[in-house]
């Protein structure tokens, strides 16, 4: 199991049937749902503010979740996939979202449900990403509507696959 560390009187609370890689780090005021996974070299750092994760959230290799002291929390809904080396900082991401590899989501941003953020995209501070769209670019722009097959076939598939992958390591 990875490094689970208390900070400022808070100890992470991990849900049922979660997987934590040996070199993943989870610190402080963090509460997770069930069937979450924290992959190699991922960091979920609730030292300066709260981090809350729903069910079936996967934090992939090298991804970082953090907040801003006394300003922004980091809240992720259910079935959220945070891609390799992504940075999610002090924002709210609702259900059924993919944050692509290397993407950045900044403080105060709100990502509605059923959104796909492309690899390398930058979601600026305070941005609101409307439900049902693919977003890409630096800064992020609405590219096109997602079809039902994207929500069910890609966003749901990725979340389900990471639950399956975690079973290989438990």
Helix then strand then coil, % of the chain, to nearest 5: 15, 40, 45
**pLDDT per residue as tens digits for the range 83-119:** 999 999 999 999 999 999 999 999 999 999 999 999 9
Beta-ladder partners of 144: 134
For 28, list phi and psi in degrees, rounded to 5: 75, -140
Pick from 28-42, 122-136, 140-154: least confident = 140-154
pLDDT attached to residue 152:
84
* CA pair distance 6, 69, nearest whole angstrom: 17
Residues in CB range of 1: below 8 A, 6 or more apart: 20, 22
The fourth-level CATH superfamily of domain 3-169 is: Hexapeptide repeat proteins (2.160.10.10)
pLDDT attached to residue 150:
86
Kindly calculate the radius of gyration of the chain based on its CA atoms and give it in whole angstroms: 15
Q: Where are the domains of the chain?
A: 3-169
Tokens of residue 155, six digits: 């966003």
């Amino acid at each position: 199991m990875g490094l689970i560390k208390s900070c400022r009187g808070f100890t992470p609370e991990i849900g049922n049937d979660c997987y934590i890689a040996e070199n993943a780090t989870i610190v402080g005021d963090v509460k997770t749902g069930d069937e979450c996974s924290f992959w190699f070299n991922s960091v979920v750092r609730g030292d300066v503010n709260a981090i809350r994760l729903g069910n079936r959230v996967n934090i992939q290799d090298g991804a970082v979740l953090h907040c801003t002291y006394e300003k922004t929390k980091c809240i992720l809904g259910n079935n959220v996939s945070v891609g390799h080396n992504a940075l999610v900082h002090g924002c709210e991401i609702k259900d059924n979202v993919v944050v692509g590899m290397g993407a950045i989501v900044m403080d105060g941003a709100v990502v509605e449900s059923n959104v796909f953020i492309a690899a390398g995209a930058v979601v600026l501070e305070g941005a609101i990403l409307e439900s049902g769209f693919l977003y890409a670019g630096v800064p992020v722009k609405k590219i096109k509507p997602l079809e039902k097959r994207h929500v069910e076939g890609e966003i749901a598939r990725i979340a389900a696959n990471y639950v399956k992958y975690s079973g290989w390591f438990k």
